[in-house]
Every structure is written in structure tokens, then in C-alpha cells.
Copies of this chain bind each other. A is one copy, B any other.
């Protein structure tokens, strides 16, 4: 590639800086501009990352021919309008997960992708962690035999720290709380590992957060394969990030110390993957090759703009992940009765 791909962040909060550091660890991407409504944030971001210019309005950014693609890290309830406007301006779009805060809006985005034939990548980066990639390879190679159960947990203390000043506090901006913020990662991971989910049964509770959203969610998934899956998400305890897969010939146990999540080129160093085979009285550590989930995902996005890569997690995968969240919340409202996923993917909502 002769020339770096020119990207521009939209939204210049904490997460935009995590992604910028990931993008700039390689030599595929340059940050050509950036946009936030705050002049102060624009200046600080330009200085921190050596970005040559910034845009004072969204229109200005989207009209800038130097910008090939945008990186959206704004609040979830602003995603749809930003994605659609960007695609319609001919920009490629990378957006943080979840694709949008509601499934209705995600379906609007799907229509925009189809209408514009644009490039859209969604930041379900966790499946790129070495532990998840290795589990996928073991499953596909048949080393676990037939998989019957998979369990995952993603929790942290965020729900205890929320204030009314943050959008995550509000049920209309972040329905599902810990489950749309953290659980949606495992909704993608588990479908990546075991294929599509047929139905979801869940209970969501607001226990110790002062915010409007759930801080304790447990969801049971039934995969189309017949396997059962579980996702547990807390927002009122120290961090946990774990996946365990049980097969007829072996189990795999993956554990990542969440406190080291943000610096993705280091995350594998804080991970362990352990196997235990049928009849084995000992467990064996599995070596994890180093990965860099944020850098890899952004470089894939950048190269896809030039037609040199395929987007792994696009609109379809993102809608499948978000549909698990929606199904879980619907099920919780019915006191656990399972909700089918397929109709949700087509925008057909169950009646209460």
C-alpha cells in the first residue's frame, strides 16, 4: 500500500483515544481530522495524536475529501444518525459497539448500508483476542468433540460509578445497562464460536446502581446447534471477563483480567486459556499468540476501504449480537419466558 488510509474520529472521549492508540501502533492508518462539538476536546486530541486539522461541525467533517472513513465513539443513541449521515456522504464507517442503542435503529442502519453500498465495520473486537480465536480454532478442528454448554461473564464496577451526567445512566439511551454495554460483546463472541442463537431467556435486575438501568443480568441462550449458552453481566462488582466451553472430549477455560482491557496489545498477557481433556486429572495451559484487537480491527477496516480486506464484523454480525440483547430484555419482561431471535432480525417484534 503506497499511502496510509485517512480516518477521522467522531467523538473525542476516552474511547476515541484508546482506538487512536490502537490505530497508530501500525503504519496503515493516519488520522487526517477529527470532530467533536467541543473546541477544547478537538485541540487536546489534535495535540495528543498530531492530527493536522479538526472540523467544527459534522457537515464540515463529512464534506472533507481528505477523510476516507470515520471512527464513531459517541453515545450509543447517536450512532444511527451519525452512521447514516456518514455513509450517505460516501464515508466508510467504523462504529463502536453496540451498533445502535435499539434494534429498530440497527435495522435502519442496515437499510442505509444496502442503499449506499458503503463500508461499515462494528467494534466487536473481543472475538479477536487470542483466547477467543484459539477457542474457535479448537472447536472448528473438533478438539472439544460435541459442545453442549458455553458460559461467559463480563462484569465491571461501572454501574456503581454512573452519574446523571453520563448517558449510560438513562434507560432510554442505554436500554439493558450492563447487558448492552458488556453483554453484547459475549453475544457476538458466543455466536462467533457456536453459530446463531435460536432463543433467549433472561432476567435483568437493577440492584445496586443508582442509575436507571440493570446492573445484574443473566441470560440463557439456546443455539440453533442445540447447545445451551449463558451470559452473566454485572455492573456492581470488580471486573470479570471469562468464557468456558464444555465439549464431550475436552473443556476450555478462558480468563482475562479485565483491569488490563484497554491496552489491547497487552491484553493477551493478562489472559489464560486452560484445557482439560476427557479422563485427564490435570489441566493444561494453552499457549496464546499475541494479538492486538483494536489495531487489527481498525487496520482491517482501513484496508477494506481500499478493497484490500474483508470486514469480519459488519452490519449482520452486529444485528445478531444486538438481537440477543433485545431478546433478553423482552424475555425478562415476561419473567424468563424464552424469546425467539429470528423474527427480531427482520424487525418483527413480539407482542407483550
Contacts and interface: CB of A to CB of B under 8 A. Distances in A.
Contacts of A232: 149, 151, 230
A236 B220 contact: no
Contacts of A216: 148-149, 227-228
A238 B251 CA distance: 6
A336 interface: yes
B220 A207 contact: no
B203 A228 contact: yes
Contacts of A283: 257
Interface string A180-210: 0000000000000000000101110101100
Contacts of A244: 153, 240
A92 interface: no
A248 interface: yes
Nearest to A280: B238
A222 B244 CA distance: 23
B337 A207 contact: no
A335 interface: yes
Contacts of A276: 238-239
A53 interface: no
A310 interface: no
A211 interface: no
A145 to B, nearest CB: 8
A334 interface: yes
Contacts of A199: 335
A63 interface: no
Nearest to A339: B336
A214 to B, nearest CB: 10
Interface of A: 146, 148-149, 151, 153, 155, 157, 160, 199, 201-203, 205, 207-208, 215-218, 220, 222, 226-228, 230, 232, 234, 236-240, 244, 246-248, 250-251, 257, 259-260, 276-281, 283, 331, 334-338
Given A234-B246, A238-B276, 19 more contacts: A146-B236, A148-B237, A149-B155, A149-B216, A151-B153, A157-B278, A203-B228, A205-B222, A216-B228, A220-B220, A237-B246, A237-B251, A238-B278, A238-B279, A238-B280, A239-B276, A257-B283, A259-B280, A336-B338
15 contacts: A148-B205, A148-B216, A148-B237, A149-B218, A149-B234, A157-B248, A157-B278, A157-B279, A203-B220, A203-B228, A208-B248, A216-B228, A230-B230, A238-B251, A337-B337
